Amino acid sequence: MSRAALVHSGDIPWPPSVHEFFPPDLFGGNGPWFTKFTLLVWLAVALIIVFFLVAYRDPKMVPGKMQWIAESIYGFNRNDIARDVIGHEGIKFAPYLATLFTFIAVTNIFSIIPGIQISPNSHIAFPAMLAIITYVLYIYWGIRRHGFGKFVKQSLILPDVPWWLLPLLIVIEFAQVFVFRPITLALRLFANMFAGHIVLLVFTLGGFLIAGAGNWFIKPISVVSWALAILITFLEALICLLQAYVFVMLTSSYLQTSLAEEH
Amino acid sequence: MIGNLAAVGYGLAAIGPGIGVGLVFAAYIQATARQPETAGLNRPNLLLGFALIEVLALIGLAMGFVYPLSK
């Protein structure tokens, strides 16, 4: 018995399931070579590049509207994240952090734009790739700054810890720094976008389901469901930007622990 | 009765993060009530803590879809 048959829903795919996240090939080919997600990622990259190129095409001393937005985004990443968290030398990471922030923010915002309404980040592959880049970056800089042996020692052994706790703490620290950090980084973004899409589906499709009910006392409740869907869309807008901020914030805090002299 | 046990699982998974998010915001409100000038200083920590805790509930929601519906 299939899931859809659980509820008499006609052609509404209810309850929403993982299948919603696997749209067919846009060109109707044999496999998923060029899906909506491929298109959205290229679109996001194009949007970001075009926006920043146009905004900085003719920089003025007193910035116009577009230049002001671009400078605010970069300045936020440079001053409020890179410099505040990593310290003065963090400014050299500002381009990476700003790129990461804009890419995640734009791809996340796709999840609430009518007509698109799905984010590439709701597939684990995209957040995983971003997390791997960060992972390689902070390990590379840790090794480059301290040398391999000292970096590993500094990451695993906390100062001022009694010797008999070390066997336990080294295992925990190893798991945390080298295993859990990239996994949680990817999983956090993925779970947010995935859950957001599912919740929106529940309220939107649920509204149609209630509207299609046979009882006239139940039908008007669908309006409540759609109103909730709209409210949750606004909440999603907040979550989208918040997740981009959190991803960049955690990236810079991992970089900071790699670059720091001592804990 | 027709249903999915994953819904119960998600309910259980949401208890901890619910308490956690409440604690984070309670602490922030208390801090800003006592020292209003620290509002901006604490906001990054508030958002970071909120996001770190909130994801636990969302992972619980996502996990419900990982395992297929058993008959």
Q: Is residue A12 part of a domain?
A: no
Give residue A2's pLDDT.
41
What tokens does A115 get? Answer: 């007509």
pLDDT for residue A243: 93
Query: Is A224 domain-assigned?
Result: yes
Q: Does residue A4 lie within any of the structural domains?
A: no
Per residue in A197-236, pLDDT (tens digit) is 988 998 998 898 888 877 888 888 899 999 999 999 999 9
Whole-angstrom distance, CA of residue A141 vs CA of residue A139: 5
Residue A13 in any domain: the answer is no
Q: Select from A6, A184, A194 the Cβ nearest to the Cβ of B62.
A: A194
Q: Is residue A5 part of a domain?
A: no
| Predicted-complex ipTM score | 0.78
3-state secondary structure of A22: coil
Domains along the sequence of chain B with CATH: 10-65 (1.20.20.10)
Residue-wise pLDDT tens digits, B39-48 = 888 888 898 8
**C-alpha–C-alpha distance, residues A201 and A212, integer Å:** 16
Residue A204 lies in a domain: yes
Q: Taking an 8 Å Cβ-Cβ cutoff, which residues of chain A contact chain B? A: 1, 3, 6, 15, 17-18, 80, 184, 187-188, 190-192, 194-195, 198-199, 242-243, 245-246, 249-250
Asked if residue A144 belongs to a domain, the reply is yes
Give the percent of chain A with pLDDT over 70.
95
Q: Where are the beta strands (DSSP E) in A39-160?
A: none
User: First-to-last CA distance in chain A?
Assistant: 57
CA angle A100-A102-A103, nearest 5°? Answer: 65
| pLDDT tens for each residue of A80-93 | 899 988 888 889 99
Predicted TM-score (pTM) of this structure: 0.87
The pLDDT score that the predictor gives to residue A34 is: 86
Residue B49 pLDDT greater than 70, yes or no = yes
Render pLDDT for A41-70 as a digit per residue (tens, 0 to 9): 999 999 999 999 999 888 888 888 889 999
Q: What is the span of the domain harbouring residue A216?
A: 24-259
Give the pLDDT confidence score for residue A157 in this predicted structure: 85
How many domains, chain A?
Answer: 1
| Residue A11 covered by a domain | no
Whether the per-residue pLDDT at A5 is higher than 50: the answer is no
